[in-house]
Amino acid sequence: MKRHLIAAVLLGIALFAPAAVAAVQPPRLDFEAPPRFASTAARLRAAVPSQLGSLMRLTGLGDPGSPIRVVLAPEGSPEAGLAPRWVVGYALGDQGLIVLLPERVPSYPDSSLDDVLLNETAHVLVARAAGGRPLPRWFQEGMAMIAGRSWGLDDRTRLTLALLVDRPVSLAALDGQFTRGQAEVNRAYSVAGSFVRDMLDRYGPGVAPAILAGVARGLSFEDAFFAATGTSLASAEDSFWSRQTFWYRWVPVLTSSVTLWLLITLLALWAIRHRRRRDAAQRRIWEEEEEARERERLRLAAAAALEAPGPDGWVN
């Protein structure tokens, strides 16, 4: 009974959370960068703050807390040495610190340094919304993936490929994949992002703030999830995997505009190849006809030469 009462209270909070944080003050980002990264810091300072409001709504925070330090570090620095070569940025949520490595090339799930900054800012705000209490790694990464970006074809395709390469992995085991190689980490990102996106689609945008508020109030993550959704995390996970059927995974990919243009391109290439083969065959026919005419001309010329009278008037 107590569990259901908590669920009702937090679901009520979830319904009003988006409206309540609509006009809140976004977090302040304090940039620290060496002179060679000054222009990059200035661009990020101008471009990213306009998107921070969506992160506040995503986490349900009414107060962003103290300013977040954003350090742009060069290769060879102690900050860069703490991250694998393919990592472009990381956050220390308890310290309100973000480290960006501009000399590295962003990779999935981020397409630019702006995405990396939004991703890591979400990590800090998620940690603050949870009151600094522990959260599953998959939930943190899934929330950060959603921050400031839409769920697109690339994500759906990666999830499909992940399921083709490997069998479904439990959320509990998913956390361990984030500490492995880049391929395993990318698969973990695709599953985590897909599950969190599915959670938001099924239960509404207020579910994430409700979960984080429950954790901040001292509930375990599993209890906070149940209180916010009315279903257990295990049941939600089973439902998620049961819906990853062929049609659920492939129809969005097969019916996308990208697939349409790919088919058009393949048809065009096939038509070009077919036309070239037909033209080559026609050229061979023309060449054979020309050779036949030339042989006939030479035969007639030879016959005429044999029938022509010689100097003495006799026919050869």
Long-range CB pairs of 217-220, under 8 A, 24+ apart, other chains included: 217/131, 218/133, 219/6
How many CA atoms, within 13 angstroms, populate the side-chain half-sphere of residue 14? 24
Domain that residue 286 falls in: 257-306
Q: Residue 169's pLDDT is what?
A: 73
**Do 144 and 242 sit in the same domain of this protein?**
yes
End-to-end CA distance of the chain: 124
In which residue are the tokens 């016959």 written? 303
**Do 236 and 279 sit in the same domain of this protein?**
no
Q: Are 124 and 93 in contact (CB under 8 A)?
A: yes
Q: Residue 16's pLDDT is what?
A: 43
Report the domain count for the chain: 2
Q: Put the strands of the sheet holding 89-92 in their side by side order.
A: 29-32, 68-72, 97-100, 89-92
Would you say residue 159 lies in a domain? yes
Q: Residue 21's pLDDT is what?
A: 38
Would you say residue 316 lies in a domain? no
Distance CA(283)–CA(299), nearest Å, equals: 24
**Do 174 and 293 sit in the same domain of this protein?**
no
Q: Residue 9's pLDDT is what?
A: 44
Residues 27-76: tens digit of each pLDDT:
999 999 999 999 999 999 988 877 888 899 999 998 999 999 999 999 99
**Do 155 and 225 sit in the same domain of this protein?**
yes
Q: Residue 38's pLDDT is what?
A: 95
**Do 281 and 248 sit in the same domain of this protein?**
no
Alpha carbon 218 to its chain centroid, in Å, reads 33
CB neighbours of residue 310 within 10 Å? 8
Q: Is the peptide bond before 209 cis (omega within 30 degrees of 0)?
A: no
Q: Where a domain ends, among 234, 255, 276?
A: 255
How many CA atoms, within 13 angstroms, populate the side-chain half-sphere of residue 155? 21
**Do 140 and 264 sit in the same domain of this protein?**
no
Q: Are 174 and 211 in contact (CB under 8 A)?
A: no
Would you say residue 232 lies in a domain? yes
Distance CA(211)–CA(227), nearest Å, equals: 8
Can you give the C-alpha Rg of the chain in angstroms? 33
**Do 187 and 100 sit in the same domain of this protein?**
yes
Residues of the chain with pLDDT under 50: 1-22, 150, 153, 247-248
**Do 251 and 263 sit in the same domain of this protein?**
no
Would you say residue 250 lies in a domain? yes
Q: Are 148 and 81 in contact (CB under 8 A)?
A: no
Would you say residue 85 lies in a domain? yes
Nearest to 112 by CA among 125, 127, 102: 102
92 DSSP β-pair partners: 97
Q: Residue 204's pLDDT is what?
A: 92
**Do 129 and 169 sit in the same domain of this protein?**
yes
**Do 265 and 250 sit in the same domain of this protein?**
no
30 DSSP β-pair partners: 69
Would you say residue 314 lies in a domain? no
Residues 114-134: tens digit of each pLDDT:
989 999 999 999 999 999 999
**Do 267 and 247 sit in the same domain of this protein?**
no
Would you say residue 295 lies in a domain? yes
Q: Are 147 and 119 in contact (CB under 8 A)?
A: yes
CATH of residue 244 = 1.10.390
Q: What is the pTM of this model?
A: 0.67
**Do 128 and 275 sit in the same domain of this protein?**
no
Angle of CA points 182, 196, 242, to nearest 5°: 95
Would you say residue 315 lies in a domain? no
